[in-house]
């Protein structure tokens, strides 16, 4: 025979039923108050709120999730293949933005690192299991099918960055091309005549955009197209080092380099030092990301800053809107970038 103890939580915590009893109303009414329904009279609402405060009631999330079929959680997915993402402030900036935006909701942030392909599958399954209401994807590669998979499940998804110019999945990106163009215009404006670039991996859309920004600035300045001023990197310091050596071999007289990432700029700087070139006198250097590396390079690195925290906030806001209203249009936003001038240029 079940002991009747309506409304007493199993570990002593008050339940909604207890609140209802205390306020002298029904369960439904308390639920309405908690969920901010307008269909409650002011008198009743006040009584319920008082009861909630008295009892120190906190809704039981699992019960809510089960009954309402939503989890009150969103996932932030980081493909950690990009260890880079971690070392740099990019990732933490995104987290900061996301959690700032989540701060006055009761939505939880689940952090999910995906390393192995196995984990990728696993997460897709996990997401299929009603465990998150939406997904934020960070730094997705050009050929990653995960965004489409998730979107196909009907799960709201927002990415940072695009995979291509025609990105089907909603995204919040920054103006990679514009930033790169600013950087190169800055170098040219400082009187540099032979400006090279070290690119990111060309299978990444962001890297291609930065290259286009470089090319556009050169074109506007009336510089003839010159493939010898272009060296491929992959965003890593090592690749920057190698690319810089190659560039100097080809064009010993170059006097400016736009690097598509800060670590590559660090590598380039090392190569320059080894070959006896000074920065910025012989060669001016500009990076991209405005990471802490930039500030600590010697000389401090001029770099293109992305509004990382803002991107985090924006994508979160957009995701929440989509969760609220499945019909809502997903974001397709490109936020501005700016040049932070330091001693290296």
Provide the residue count of the chain: 345
Residue 298, burial from CB neighbour count under 10 angstroms (0-12, 13-18, 19+): exposed
Please report whether residue 2 would count as binding a second copy according to CB under 8 A: no
Q: What are phi and psi of 31, to 5 degrees?
A: -60, -45
Binding segment for a second copy (CB under 8 A), chosen from 26-34, 121-129, 205-213, 224-232, is: 121-129
C-beta closer to DNA: residue 34 or 335: 34
- Which residues of this protein are in contact with DNA, per CB under 7 A? 2-3, 5, 8-11, 13, 15-17, 24-29, 31-32, 34-35, 38-41, 43-44, 57, 59-60, 63-64, 66-69
Nearest to 272 by CA among 259, 261, 291: 259
Report yes or no: 207 and 164 within 8 Å, Cβ to Cβ.
no
Nearest to 197 by CA among 293, 283, 138: 283
Please report whether residue 277 would count as binding a second copy according to CB under 8 A: no
Binding segment for a second copy (CB under 8 A), chosen from 66-74, 194-202, 317-325, 335-343, is: 66-74
Q: Which residues touch 93 (CB under 8 Å, ≥6 apart)?
A: 308, 309, 311, 312
Q: Which listed residue (46, 50, 53, 87) binds a second copy by CB under 8 A?
A: 87
| Interaction residues for a second copy, span 201-260 (CB under 8 A) | none
CA angle 115, 326, 206 (to 5 degrees): 45
C-beta closer to a second copy: residue 130 or 193: 130
Residues that bind a second copy (CB under 8 A): 10-11, 13, 58-63, 65-66, 69, 71, 73, 80, 86-87, 89, 91-92, 95-96, 99, 103, 108-113, 119, 125-126, 128-131, 266, 292-293, 296-298
């Amino acid at each position: 025979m079940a002991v009747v103890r309506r409304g007493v939580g199993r570990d002593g915590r008050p339940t909604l039923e207890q609140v209802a009893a205390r306020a002298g109303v029904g369960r439904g009414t308390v639920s309405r108050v908690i969920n901010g329904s307008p269909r409650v009279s002011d008198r009743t609402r006040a009584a319920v709120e008082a009861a909630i405060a008295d009892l120190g009631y906190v809704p039981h999330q699992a019960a809510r999730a089960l009954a309402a079929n939503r989890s009150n959680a969103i996932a932030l997915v980081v493909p950690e293949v990009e260890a880079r993402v971690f070392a740099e402030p990019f990732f933490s900036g995104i987290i900061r933005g996301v959690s700032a935006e989540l701060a006055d909701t009761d939505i939880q942030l689940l952090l999910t690192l995906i390393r192995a392909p196995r984990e990728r599958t696993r997460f897709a399954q996990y997401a299929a299991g009603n465990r998150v209401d939406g997904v934020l994807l960070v730094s997705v590669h050009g050929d990653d099918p995960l965004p489409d998979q998730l979107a196909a499940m009907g799960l709201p998804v927002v990415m940072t960055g695009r995979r291509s110019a025609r990105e089907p999945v909603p995204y919040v990106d920054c103006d990679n091309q514009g930033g790169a163009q600013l950087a190169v215009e800055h170098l040219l404006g400082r009187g540099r005549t032979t400006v090279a670039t070290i690119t990111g991996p060309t299978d990444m859309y962001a890297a291609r955009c930065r290259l286009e920004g470089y090319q556009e600035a050169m074109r506007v300045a009336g510089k003839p197209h010159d493939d010898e001023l272009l060296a491929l990197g992959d965003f890593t310091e090592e690749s920057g080092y190698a690319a810089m050596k190659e560039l100097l071999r080809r064009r010993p007289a170059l006097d400016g380099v736009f690097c598509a990432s800060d670590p590559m700029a660090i590598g380039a700087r090392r190569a320059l030092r080894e070959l006896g070139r000074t920065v910025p006198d012989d060669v001016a250097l500009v990076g991209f990301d405005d990471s802490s590396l930039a500030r600590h390079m010697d000389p401090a690195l001029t770099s293109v800053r992305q509004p990382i925290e803002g991107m985090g906030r924006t994508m979160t806001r957009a995701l929440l809107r989509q969760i609220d209203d499945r019909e809502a249009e997903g974001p397709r936003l490109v936020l501005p970038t700016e040049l932070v001038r330091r001693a290296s240029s």
